[in-house]
Structures are given as C-alpha cells and as structure tokens.
Chain A
Amino acid sequence: MTEGQFFKAASPQEACDLLAQYDGKARLLAGGTDLMVAMNLRQQSPEVLIYIGDSDLNYIKEEGGDLVIGAGTTLSEVLNSDIIKKSAPLLVKAVSQMASVAIRNVGTIGGNLANASPAADSATALLALNATLKLVSKGGERLVPVDQFFTGPGESVLGPGEIIQEILIPAQVNGTKWGYHKIGKRKAQSLSIVSVAICCSLEGGTCKDARIALGAVAPTPILASVAAELLEGKALSEGLIDETAKAAANATSPVDDVRGSAWYRRRASEALVRKLLAQMSV
C-alpha cells in the first residue's frame, strides 16, 4: 500500500496544477468535515491530498452590487459576516441550522457544494438566491449557475481538475422577500429531511422572479420552476399559495431513507412551501 502524499496549495491555481498533475488520484481537503469522515469509515482512501485550507479562497466581498463568497469561507464566517447578513440573510438563516459550532468552524461553503449531497443546506439557499459558481481549472475558468451544478447524489459538473473558486450571489431587487425552513430529526447536528428556501420580489403586491428551492427531496437540491412560474405577476392569494404548494410537491422525487419516508417528504414539501408563502404574503 502506498503511503500517500500531502500537498499544501498556496493558491487556487496551485491546487488546480496539482489536481492536473495527479489526474484523478488527488482529493481536495479543506475543513475535512466530509472527506475525513469518509476516510475514517474507510469509504475513501485518496492517494494524494491537496490541502486548500490556506489557499486564499477565504473571502467575502461585494463587487458591483453582487455578493462574492470565496469557496473556502467557513460556515461560521458566513454566519458572522455583516455583509452576508445584510445582503443575503436567507443564506445566514440556512447556515445557522447546519451541523454544530465545531463543524461550522472548519466546514466550508464550497465544500458543502462540492460534496453534492442532495441534503446540502447551503445549496437550497443558494438556488433560491439565484447564485452562480465560478469554477477554475488549469485550463481556465467558467461560470455555472447553481441550478446547473448538481447532476446526482454526490455528483456535479465539476471536472476532475476543477475547483470551485467562488460563489456569486446577485443583488436582490427591492421588495424581495424570503423564507427558509428546514426539518431534521433534531435541531443540531442533523441532516435535512426536507428543506425549503423561497425568494420572491413582492414589490407592489405582485410576485416577480419567484424561486422555490427544495433540498433532500430529489437526487439533487432542486428548483421547483413550474411552481414558481404560477406566481409570476400575481398577488399571493390563499388559492394561489395552495396551487403553488401542490405544484412544488409535484416537482419532488423523494426516496425512503433512514431519516424519513418519501411519502412524508412529499407532504412536508407541500406544507413548508404553503407555510413560507403564507408568511411572505403578510
């Protein structure tokens, strides 16, 4: 058995170079809250680890009205950021219900996305916020909207030599309202059974650009686009909310697992969308 190799990348570019060099054999290590668990359980045994905890991927800034979050930003840093509290409070709310202090202190937002769990809570929030990911590789960079990033449980469009450099969240228009609700087995340290995030402009009482995101109810975090379109240009009446909640539940394709049944997940999706829209309507 090989002993394995460990590299510390000083920059995203160096990490990309190393990934290219060890084509397919290397794994990125940031906070390790997913990878080290998998290694302890002997589910994964990478030959090469590239540590990116010190790679200049840790920043939060505003650029031309957009919010830019470096992929190596820890969940605790997201939670404590005044900039994010002001411009994307939905993300702060979602992150505040993830894991626990010790995990949030090292777990990164980019890692949560790259791990591509259907229950990744930051993904649900970022889908609703219409975020885009900047992916970099040795060959260059590309922008991928979060709703095109995930391809299946644990799978994404991220190429073997590619890393997530940053997350771009467009400025929310005036009058944007949002809602978030997560159901887990317990409050702390538990994965979502269902999570729902909604963003919608309600300027002048009519809905515009509604986005309804659901987590842990499909092979990937999803946008319920058909449901969201029902809201376009209309006022949030009780009847419309009901119709939208049903359409959102129809967008799900949940599975039975240890955390909850498919039946429950579908029902809870509908109930949460109804509840959040009702809260947003007042």
Chain B
Amino acid sequence: MYPLELTVNGRSYQVAVNVKTTLLEVLRDQLSITSPKVGCNTGDCGTCSVLLDGKLVRSCITNALSAQGKEVITVEGIAKAGELHPLQEAFHENYGSQCGFCTPGMILASKALLDENPNPSREEAKEALSGNLCRCTGYVKILDSVMAAAEKMGGPQGS
C-alpha cells in the first residue's frame, strides 16, 4: 500500500491505496463522498466526473496515485454553506434532473465549461456535455439548466 494525500472540497485527507486503486474508489469507499457514481467504470458515461486541479476528469479511470497532492472538487464542494451553486439552482428550477444518477457529473461538466467560457452558446454547451450520458434522456432540460445558470452567473462582464 502507498500513502496518498489529497484535498477534496477544501479538506485534506490521507489514505492508503494500492497501485490499482482509482480516484473514484478513494472518494466513495474511503472518504464516503458518494456524489461521483460508479457507472460504466470504463470512462465512457461521465457520471464519475470530478474536477482535478480544476479540470474535468473521469475519476473511475484516474489512478489514485496520479492524484497525489492534487485538489479534487466534487458536487458536494461547489455549494457554499446553506446556499446552492447557481448551477444547482438552475438544474433544480429547470427540471434538469430526473433519476439524478448523471446529475453530479452533468453539473461538474457544466461548471468546467462555465469556468472557461462563462457565456457559452447552446451548441458549445452541448459539445461540453457530450461526454456525459443521461439514460433518462433529459438532455433538453439539462441544456436549459446550463444556459439558465450561465445567465444567472452573469457572464464575464456581468452582461
């Protein structure tokens, strides 16, 4: 076993992992942070998505030891105390979530997009979310939610 230190949602953790452990296993099984889901476990579906040093990654195919010393954000970490993130609000208000299994990944993929491009076109949002599957097929409402959140967050110049 190897020691692994990482920060998740602003809190530091130390765990022990083996060479095959994935970041998703660390989050769910060792830290009980369960918003990233086990879907395909092959990097295809996107429901395990997290932000690693600000970048969207698949935690199911991220070797845990490659995240040594890095900062992980899951959907639990984007809300401020008692206050939902505008993306969470927008998903709630626009019915962007049905069964909810894909929602954490969808919200983080959306956050990664808005962090880079605060005023995306609907087409750009579609492209950014194209690696996240929703088996309820609620894509229209999901895109509505992302566009609403972008508007709520006001874009770069508050326009």
> Once bound together, how far apart are the Cα atoms of A169 and B57, in whole Å?
29
Name which residue of chain B comes closest to A5, CB basis: B19
Name which residue of chain B comes closest to A42, CB basis: B20
Task: Give the contacting residue for A99; candidates B20, B109, B131; CB below 8 A.
Answer: B131
> Once bound together, how far apart are the Cα atoms of A40 and B64, in whole Å?
13
Instruction: Tell me if A102 is interfacial: C-beta within 8 Å of chain B.
Output: yes
Interface size class of A (residues with CB under 8 A): 20 to 34
Contact B130 A100 (CB under 8 A): yes
Contact B41 A40 (CB under 8 A): yes
User: A3-B1, A37-B42, A49-B63 given as contacts; is B20 within 8 A of A189 (CB)?
Assistant: no
Instruction: Tell me if B76 is interfacial: C-beta within 8 Å of chain A.
Output: no
Contact B63 A36 (CB under 8 A): yes
Contact A40 B49 (CB under 8 A): no
Name the distance in Å between A97's Cβ and chain B's nearest Cβ.
11
Name the distance in Å between A31's Cβ and chain B's nearest Cβ.
9
> Once bound together, how far apart are the Cα atoms of A39 and B65, in whole Å?
15
Hey, which chain B residues are within 8 Å of A240, CB to CB? none
> Once bound together, how far apart are the Cα atoms of A102 and B46, in whole Å?
8
Contact A37 B2 (CB under 8 A): no
Interface size class of B (residues with CB under 8 A): 20 to 34
Hey, which chain A residues are within 8 Å of B68, CB to CB? 8
Contact A32 B131 (CB under 8 A): no
Task: Give the contacting residue for B131; candidates A4, A5, A100; CB below 8 A.
Answer: A100
Task: Give the contacting residue for B66; candidates A29, A40, A48; CB below 8 A.
Answer: A29
> Once bound together, how far apart are the Cα atoms of A189 and B133, in whole Å?
10
Instruction: Tell me if B60 is interfacial: C-beta within 8 Å of chain A.
Output: yes
Name which residue of chain A comes closest to B133, CB basis: A189
Instruction: Tell me if B141 is interfacial: C-beta within 8 Å of chain A.
Output: no
Instruction: Tell me if B7 is interfacial: C-beta within 8 Å of chain A.
Output: no
Instruction: Tell me if B58 is interfacial: C-beta within 8 Å of chain A.
Output: yes
> Once bound together, how far apart are the Cα atoms of A49 and B56, in whole Å?
23
Task: Give the contacting residue for B109; candidates A45, A51, A102; CB below 8 A.
Answer: A102
Instruction: Tell me if B121 is interfacial: C-beta within 8 Å of chain A.
Output: no
> Once bound together, how far apart are the Cα atoms of A102 and B56, in whole Å?
5
Task: Give the contacting residue for B63; candidates A32, A76, A188; CB below 8 A.
Answer: A32
Instruction: Tell me if B94 is interfacial: C-beta within 8 Å of chain A.
Output: no
Mask of A21-60 contacts with B, CB within 8 angstroms, 1/0? 0000000010011001101110001001101010000000
Identify which of A29, A37, A99 gathers the most chain B CB atoms within 10 Å of its CB. A37
Instruction: Tell me if B93 is interfacial: C-beta within 8 Å of chain A.
Output: no
Contact B56 A105 (CB under 8 A): yes
User: A32-B66, A40-B60, A51-B65 given as contacts; is B18 within 8 A of A189 (CB)?
Assistant: no
Instruction: Tell me if B148 is interfacial: C-beta within 8 Å of chain A.
Output: no
> Once bound together, how far apart are the Cα atoms of A53 and B46, in whole Å?
22
Contact A40 B112 (CB under 8 A): no
Hey, which chain A residues are within 8 Å of B49, CB to CB? 102
Name the distance in Å between B29's Cβ and chain A's nearest Cβ.
14
Hey, which chain B residues are within 8 Å of A187, CB to CB? 130
Instruction: Tell me if A106 is interfacial: C-beta within 8 Å of chain B.
Output: yes
Name the distance in Å between B133's Cβ and chain A's nearest Cβ.
8
Name the distance in Å between A213's Cβ and chain B's nearest Cβ.
25
Task: Give the contacting residue for B18; candidates A3, A29, A40, A102; CB below 8 A.
Answer: A3
Contact A41 B42 (CB under 8 A): yes
Instruction: Tell me if B78 is interfacial: C-beta within 8 Å of chain A.
Output: no
Name the distance in Å between B70's Cβ and chain A's nearest Cβ.
10
Contact A189 B55 (CB under 8 A): no
Instruction: Tell me if A264 is interfacial: C-beta within 8 Å of chain B.
Output: no
Mask of B30-52 contacts with A, CB within 8 angstroms, 1/0? 00000000000111101001000
Name the distance in Å between B55's Cβ and chain A's nearest Cβ.
5
Instruction: Tell me if B22 is interfacial: C-beta within 8 Å of chain A.
Output: yes
Q: Which residues of A contact B (CB under 8 A)?
A: 3-6, 8, 29, 32-33, 36-37, 39-41, 45, 48-49, 51, 53, 76, 99-103, 105-106, 187-189
Q: Can you offer 21 A-B residue contacts whose CB atoms are under 8 A?
A: A3-B18, A5-B19, A8-B65, A32-B62, A32-B66, A36-B61, A36-B63, A37-B42, A37-B61, A39-B20, A40-B22, A49-B63, A100-B130, A102-B49, A102-B109, A102-B131, A103-B131, A105-B55, A106-B62, A188-B127, A189-B131
